Homo-oligomer: A and B are copies of this chain.
């Protein structure tokens, strides 16, 4: 099987299940790089998920919030708390591709160094390297690898609060939104879209001035807003000082409560179906994008030709979109 390029997927997944960090890292790389064997990896992981059943599956927690609220520090503290409770923990730090770092900034790893030598903790920075579906597809796939490696809890830390982050966060079982005092007023918070996605809210840096006001304002806004879920889950607000571990046990308690709520109401299955749907859609749309071609590529990409005509006012973008889709169907026949 191994000819220097081809990997033995079954053996790798077996090793990952035994907790071999190199096997885990290698499988995630397959996912992240869009390896030619990706289909094989995913099929094998899917098979394993089916074998384990829903009961044995990992609990996926998304953490998000604006830059500077202390996401990495909070993630680090949550890992410590879960480890103290004997759980195996996976961390995916999702990082939109940056030209400065290839996506995986050292900062994350530095902050996670408390756990670097713990065999029960797997940490990975994820970067979109332009493969089909991007982070929206790669993140749930990487989460499956961590699940196969026996992680009980998977923490997905997303950077900033934008559309891609919301997509990633909404792929989690439970989403934690972090805030900090003095990061902008209520209108700014609403603008950033954070009030739509949280199941649990954390006001970090709670030892700073304004923490009570932030929590109060947040509480007020949550009481005003419509909730995205049916049922009667009222999002708790937990105050923490993550750098000193304060309040972290309370965050884990809130997470456990939400997990139980999801299981009782059947929402867990709903969210997991939504996660699978996002993954499928990302792969499908990514495949189509590849066929459309890039506007920056050669002159003969269908998208570029149509974009030139739209930019010149020759055709409108709806007509161009029709032609793009029609061209795709014609192409897919050869």
Query: When the two chains form their complex, are residues A49 and B195 in contact, meaning their CB atoms are under 8 A apart?
Result: no
A42, A228, A284 interface centre (most CB from chain B within 10 Å)? A284
In the complex the two chains form, is B99's CB within 8 Å of A317's CB? no
Q: Point out the residues of chain B lying under 8 angstroms from A318, CB to CB.
A: 38-39, 42-43, 283
- Is A274 a contact of B296 with CB atoms below 8 Å? yes
Complex contact A279–B141 (CB within 8 A)? no
CB of B316 within 8 A of CB of A46, answer: yes
Contacts of A329 in B (CB 8 A): 329, 332
Assembly CA distance A299 to B187 (angstroms): 38
| Contact indicator per residue, chain A 210-236, by CB within 8 Å of chain B (1) or not (0) | 000000000001001110100000000
Quick one: copies of this chain in the complex? 2
Determine the distance from Cα of A226 to Cα of B320 in the docked complex, in whole angstroms. Answer: 33
Give the docked Cα–Cα distance between A51 and B101 (Å).
45
Q: Please, which residues of chain B bring their CB within 8 A of the CB of A221?
A: 100
A280 CB contact (under 8 Å) in B50, B100, B185, B320:
B320
**Would you give the shortest CB distance from A292 to chain B, in whole angstroms?**
6
For residues 152 through 190 of chain A, which have their beta carbon under 8 Å from a beta carbon of chain B? Answer: 159-166, 183-185, 187-190
Q: Across the interface, do B274 and A295 meet the contact criterion of CB distance under 8 Å? A: yes
Query: Please, how many angstroms separate the alpha-carbon atoms of A281 and B329 in the complex?
Result: 15
CB-CB nearest in chain B for A326 = B332
CB distance from A71 to the nearest CB of B (A): 9
**CB interface residues, A 274-311, toward B, < 8 Å:** 274-281, 283-285, 287-289, 292, 295-296, 303-304, 306-308, 310-311
Chain B residues whose CB sits within 8 angstroms of the CB of A100 once the complex forms? 190, 195, 221, 224-225
Give 11 A-B pairs besides A99-B195, A100-B225, A288-B325 with Cβ atoms closer than 8 angstroms: A39-B318, A46-B317, A95-B191, A98-B190, A99-B226, A105-B191, A161-B162, A163-B163, A272-B311, A280-B303, A281-B303
